[in-house]
Amino acid sequence: MDDRLLYLVRHGRPVIPGGTKIYLGRKDVPLSEEGRNQAAATGRALAGIPFDALVTSGLVRADETGEIIAACRRRSLARRTVPGLQEISLGEWEGRSFGEIQAEAPDEFDRRGRELATHHPPGGESFEDLQRRVAPAIEEAFAVTGATTLCCVTHAGVLRVLFRHLLELPWRQLFAFTFDYGGVTILRPGGSPRILAVNWRPSL
């Protein structure tokens, strides 16, 4: 029996350049003040969970969230970086607004909506590409830490493709679940994964 326990935390709200809806992807931006507060609320709520280790994706917004969560604990927590848990790469679209891309490349913008699984922006990944690296990255996180109970700070895209895979959902339902900033999702991974909690939000 697989007794591992995985706490998946979406990072806190980052600073959004321009303050409008953008393709963020792997653009490296820090947490906003609100995001730091969300991370602290999550850290306090999880302070009593006996994590063996904490991993982050290596992007600044995830690393800062992990540091804040770790700082809420009485004892130090081993921390590692697993780059396979980074957000989807959006290539040349990263940092640009939805409106800008729709105006400059309307056909590509529309294709992304129609061909959700396979479309990738220039120089970027598709959601299928993302899904192929997520499950191995989670196994890597357990392997490099030797953890049984693991906290993993990652991104909304990672969580969405993971749930689509676990529940065998059609790609059109990729956005059926909401994963809020600072939200906590709990799984028992393994051959027959069990979902114990989805998008629990300590900050609320």
Cβ pair 200, 159 in contact under 8 A: no
Is residue 87 annotated as a catalytic residue, yes or no? yes
Q: What percent of the chain has pLDDT over 70?
A: 99
User: Can you read off the two tokens belonging to residue 164?
Assistant: 């689509």
Among 11, 64, 125, 155, the active-site one is 11
User: Can you read off the two tokens belonging to residue 110?
Assistant: 């529309």
The SS3 of residue 86 is coil
pLDDT at position 17, please?
78
Among 87, 94, 120, 125, the active-site one is 87
In tens, the pLDDT along 91-125 reads 999 999 999 999 999 999 999 999 999 999 999 99
In tens, the pLDDT along 151-170 reads 999 999 999 999 999 999 99
Is residue 33 annotated as a catalytic residue, yes or no? no
Task: State the pTM of this model.
Answer: 0.95
